[in-house]
Amino acid sequence: MCLCLGGAKKKKKKKNNKKKKRVVQTEPPTIPISAFFPNKIYPEGELCEYKDDNLWRTTNEEKRALEKQNFDQYNDIRRAAEVHRQVRKYARRNIKPGMTMTEICEMIENGTRTLVEAKGFESGIGFPTGCSLNHCAAHYTPNAGDKTVLQHGDVCKIDFGVHVNGRIIDSAFTLTFDPVYDNLLAAVKDATNTGIREAGIDVRLGDIGAAIQEVMESYEVEIGGKTYQVKPIRNLTGHSIEQYKIHGTKAVPIVNNGDPTKMEEGDYFAIETFGSTGRGYVHHDKETSHYARVYDLPKIPIRLPRAKTLFETINREFGTLPFCRRYLDRLGEEKYLLALKSLCDTGHVADYPPLVDIKGSYTAQYEHTLVLRPTRKEVLSRGDDY
């Protein structure tokens, strides 16, 4: 027996050496973003202070209080942004020549639905995945039966969207596999970053376009022994984004068009630029795949019964978010082309055919979504890749 002086010894607490397991995304991505952020607070994008007369906003108490009030909507779109970053990280590593455009789009869309935990209007895909090739600058996604295969010499624009409660991330990048296009991509990336840098509260949209144009046109690219000045595609623009409405009321030009309209506090913008080795002007061509219900519906009745039932599906499944034919196929809709055309003719649905420059030319695109917060600018979709 042992006598212990000074009372009984306190038992030492055993150290818990178990470390919390770090969540690691799978390949392909299958773990929802919410699993990485159990507190449901999602990371901020790139923060940029405003310039010149707006510098006071950073420390202004009233503006800071206003940001706290807006936290929920910022948190929603940051969740969408994190989904975009993780999905595109996988896509950029795995998209290779030899894949069909349908395989590419389904890879991106399946990842998006899973990571954002798609649930109707609460969360999901923001708009159809664009995978426009070469002289086609925008609004191409494959319809059923499209067997197009990605080639080593292609210039492919990947443009996809994610939404949470209607807060949409719209972000795009360009993929190439031949270094001959490097300067074309560098020009457009530099131009997009210029637009982001120039954006701010009370900045005139025309001034942003002038800055973008100056940078874009300072680049040249040599392809097939011929030198081209990179041209901004003057009839394509960036745009403001509203809740459940991908194209808001403001257009951000990529040339100097003298537009005096100003950016305003609270605005969300997709800053996107397109560069081309062609004319720098696009027109409609090829088979349409992109559609969207018109925001302000006409008072014209839908007389065709099949069109009426199709419109009910569109309204229920997509609302004002854009969709494509593949999404209707996925829902089990059949023999709907005549009804869809009828809805376009009556103005209930808008169609968005592919936009192309001259054949033989090459186009590139880069795009980010930002918000003009009361205290500073936040580039929501910024990542390590672009």
User: What pLDDT tens digit does each residue of the chain (386 aa) get?
Assistant: 433 333 334 455 555 555 567 889 999 999 999 999 999 999 999 999 999 899 999 999 999 999 999 999 999 999 999 999 999 999 999 999 999 999 999 999 999 999 999 999 999 999 999 999 999 999 999 999 999 999 999 999 999 999 999 999 999 999 999 999 999 999 999 999 999 999 999 999 999 999 999 999 999 999 999 999 999 999 999 999 999 999 999 999 999 999 999 999 999 999 999 999 999 999 999 999 999 999 999 999 999 999 999 999 999 999 999 999 999 999 999 999 999 999 999 999 999 999 999 999 999 999 999 999 999 999 999 999 99
Q: Do the Cβ atoms of 326 and 141 come closer than 8 Å?
A: yes
369's CB contacts (< 8 A; 6+ apart) are: 77, 81, 168, 169, 170, 171, 241, 268, 269, 270, 271, 379, 380, 381
State the Cα–Cα distance between residues 321 and 126, nearest whole angstrom: 6
Residue where the block lists tokens 């490097």: 182
Q: Is the dihedral of CA 248, 250, 252, 255 positive or negative?
A: positive
pLDDT in tens, 201-232: 999 999 999 999 999 999 999 999 999 999 99
Catalytic member of 76, 159, 190, 378: 159
Q: Quick count: other Cβ atoms within 10 Å of Cβ 60?
A: 12
Please, where in the chain does CATH 1.10.10.10 lie?
290-352
pLDDT tens for 74-90 read 999 999 999 999 999 99
Q: Which of 163, 367, 368, 378 is catalytic?
A: 367
Tokens, residue 213? 């144009």
Q: Which one of 272, 348, 357, 368 is the catalytic residue?
A: 272
**Domain 290-352 has what CATH class?**
mainly alpha
Q: What are phi and psi of 343, to 5 degrees?
A: -65, -35
Task: Give yes or no: 247 in active site.
Answer: yes
Query: Which residues are annotated binding-site positions?
Result: 139, 159, 170, 239, 247, 272, 367
CA distance 200 to 227: 35
In 143-154, which positions are buried (b, 16+ CB within 10 angstroms) versus exposed (e)?
eeebeeebeeeb
Q: What is the CATH number of domain 47-287+355-379?
A: 3.90.230.10
Chain region(s) in the chain for CATH 3.90.230.10: 47-287+355-379
Two structure tokens written together for 224 = 């097939």
Which listed residue (135, 239, 348, 368) is catalytic?
A: 239
Measured distance CA(225)–CA(222) in Å, rounded: 6
Residue positions forming the annotated binding site for substrate: 139, 247
Nearest partner of 359 among 303, 286, 287, 292, judged by Cα: 286
Query: Could you report the per-residue pLDDT of 116-140, keeping only the tens digit for each?
Result: 999 999 999 999 999 999 999 999 9
User: Is residue 122 annotated as part of the catalytic site, yes or no?
Assistant: no
- Asked if 368 is an active-site residue, the reply is no
pLDDT of residue 152: 98
Residue numbers in the known binding site for a divalent metal cation are 159, 170, 239, 272, 367
Annotated active-site residue 163? The verdict is: no
239 is a catalytic site residue = yes
Q: What is the β-pairing status of strands 355-356 and 283-284?
A: antiparallel
Which entry of 247, 290, 348, 368 is annotated as an active-site residue?
Answer: 247
Task: Tell me which residue has tokens 């080795």.
Answer: 277
Alpha helices in the chain (DSSP H): 61-69, 71-94, 101-116, 182-198, 205-216, 305-317, 325-330, 337-345
Q: Mark whether 272 is an active-site residue.
A: yes
Look up residue 276 and give its DSSP letter: E
- Per annotation, catalytic residue among 76, 109, 170, 242: 170
Cis amide prior to 322 (ω within 30 degrees): no
